[in-house]
């Protein structure tokens, strides 16, 4: 039987560290990454895949690492996916991931997070050994105001953080991602209080042995806790080598810490050490509050919004950009739905000593 919940019990912690998202002006000229779909469509007709469009998309992606297509005239996810496939030619399942995403189409997933929660800047699937090179957004439904995704120039963020004592500490110590995945069977006929994601959904299996196998296949240390809580740990560099630039880039953020849940319904009330995610240095020492604030601030300084309209398509290089969004507040009758494409996978190599 469901419990009666007092709203005050689930109010955000007073100590929540809120992102600013950006400083008010784009750090990259939108003309460098925006494609007006009207240039490639017949009047009155929706945008269609073509060699000319694909070549323009690929060229911009190679140069900038970010493509935003507007004025497509498209309203369905399948058509948007076809356009995005010009660049995201290989798409993967969302397996081993943290967010509880559901499939909207084949290899098209929902965002997997409550609209009222802010989503800190992050690099997709940085917390497992098999990450992704890029991801795409297909804008299916959007409110009249807000609902934008924000991206942050990670090349500049990397230069910034490495100039600080905190950045040097990240470089030296690396990180440990602590993640606790609940057992769906423990929550039958109960509210999902304190739940982020069940291991059955993250590992795409109902078999505990297979779940452990899948976790270890992704480079995670894994063990069972009480009530079949799957506890994983992942030790890795805070940076990742990016072949195209022949350079190590920042590849981590506060999104994988307990601060991720500062505005997450039915989790935000938990003390920091009881939340499903935690980020420490690679020697298991804690980050100070000031260090966490620096981690937030460095992405905010180089962030800017992608001002979505229905039909828009966005493609983001997972090395050169981090992404996130503020909380979304809908008016009556409004919806926000983005289809997410996870691009080609690769095995993390971490950072190379001679590529700083």
Average of per-residue pLDDT across 309-331? 96
User: Does residue 280 fall inside a structural domain?
Assistant: yes
Is 65 a residue whose pLDDT tops 80? yes
User: Does residue 316 fall inside a structural domain?
Assistant: yes
Is 262 a residue whose pLDDT tops 50? yes
In a 10 Å sphere around its CB, with 0-12 CB exposed, 13-18 middle and 19+ buried, how is residue 185 labelled? exposed
User: Does residue 254 fall inside a structural domain?
Assistant: yes
Average of per-residue pLDDT across 51-76? 98
The total number of residues written for the chain in this structure: 356
Average pLDDT, the chain: 89
* pLDDT number for residue 1: 33
CATH number at residue 174: 3.60.130.10
User: Does residue 2 fall inside a structural domain?
Assistant: no
Q: Of 79, 128, 144, 316, which is closest to residue 234 (Cα–Cα)?
A: 128
Average of per-residue pLDDT across 147-151? 97
| Confidence band of 286 (pLDDT split at 50, 70, 90) | very high
Q: Collapse the DSSP code of 69 into the 3-class scheme (helix H, G, I; strand E, B; otherwise coil) and give the result.
A: strand
* pLDDT number for residue 117: 86
* pLDDT number for residue 260: 87
Domain enclosing residue 216, as ranges: 33-331
* pLDDT number for residue 103: 52
Number of structural domains in the chain: 1
User: Does residue 269 fall inside a structural domain?
Assistant: yes
User: Does residue 339 fall inside a structural domain?
Assistant: no
The tens digit of pLDDT for each residue in 229-247 reads 999 999 999 999 999 999 9
Q: How far apart are CA 223 and CA 155, in angstroms?
A: 36
pTM of the model: 0.88
The tens digit of pLDDT for each residue in 98-118 reads 455 455 544 455 556 788 889
User: Does residue 244 fall inside a structural domain?
Assistant: yes
**pLDDT above 90 as % of the chain:** 70
3-state secondary structure 155-207: HHHHHHHHCCHHHHHHHHHCEEEEEEEECHHHHCCCCCCCCCCEHHHHHCCCC
User: Does residue 337 fall inside a structural domain?
Assistant: no
């Amino acid at each position: 039987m469901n419990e009666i919940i007092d709203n005050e019990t689930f109010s955000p912690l007073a100590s929540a560290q809120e992102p600013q998202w950006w400083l008010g002006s784009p750090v990259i000229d939108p003309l460098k990454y925006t494609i007006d779909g009207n240039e490639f469509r017949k009047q009155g007709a929706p945008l269609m895949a073509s060699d000319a469009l694909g070549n323009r998309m690929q060229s911009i992606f190679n140069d900038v690492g970010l493509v935003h297509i507007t004025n497509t005239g498209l309203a369905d996810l399948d058509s948007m996916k076809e356009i995005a496939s010009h660049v995201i030619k290989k798409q993967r399942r969302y397996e081993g991931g943290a967010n509880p995403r559901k499939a909207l189409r084949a290899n098209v997933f929902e965002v997997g997070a409550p609209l009222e929660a802010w989503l800190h800047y992050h690099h997709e699937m940085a917390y497992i050994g098999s990450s992704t090179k890029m991801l795409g957004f297909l804008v299916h439904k959007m409110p009249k105001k807000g609902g934008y995704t924000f991206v942050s120039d990670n090349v500049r963020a990397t230069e910034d953080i490495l100039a600080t004592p905190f950045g040097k500490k990240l470089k030296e110590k690396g990180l440990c991602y602590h993640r606790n995945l609940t057992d769906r069977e423990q929550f039958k006929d109960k509210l999902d209080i304190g739940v982020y994601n069940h291991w059955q959904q993250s590992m795409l299996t109902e078999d505990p042995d297979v779940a452990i196998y899948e976790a270890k296949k992704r480079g995670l240390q894994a063990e069972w806790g009480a009530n079949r809580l799957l506890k994983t740990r992942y030790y890795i560099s805070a940076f990742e080598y990016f072949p195209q630039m022949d350079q190590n880039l920042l590849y981590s953020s506060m999104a994988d810490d307990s601060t991720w849940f500062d505005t997450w319904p039915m989790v935000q009330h938990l003390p920091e050490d009881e939340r499903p995610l935690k980020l420490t240095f690679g020697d298991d020492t804690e980050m100070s509050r000031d260090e966490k604030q620096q981690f937030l601030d460095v992405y905010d300084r180089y962030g800017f919004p992608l001002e979505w309209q229905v039909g828009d398509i966005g493609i983001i290089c997972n090395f050169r950009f981090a992404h996130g969004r503020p909380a979304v507040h809908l008016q009556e009758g409004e919806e926000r739905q983005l289809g997410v494409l996870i691009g080609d996978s690769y095995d993390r190599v971490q950072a190379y000593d001679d590529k700083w």
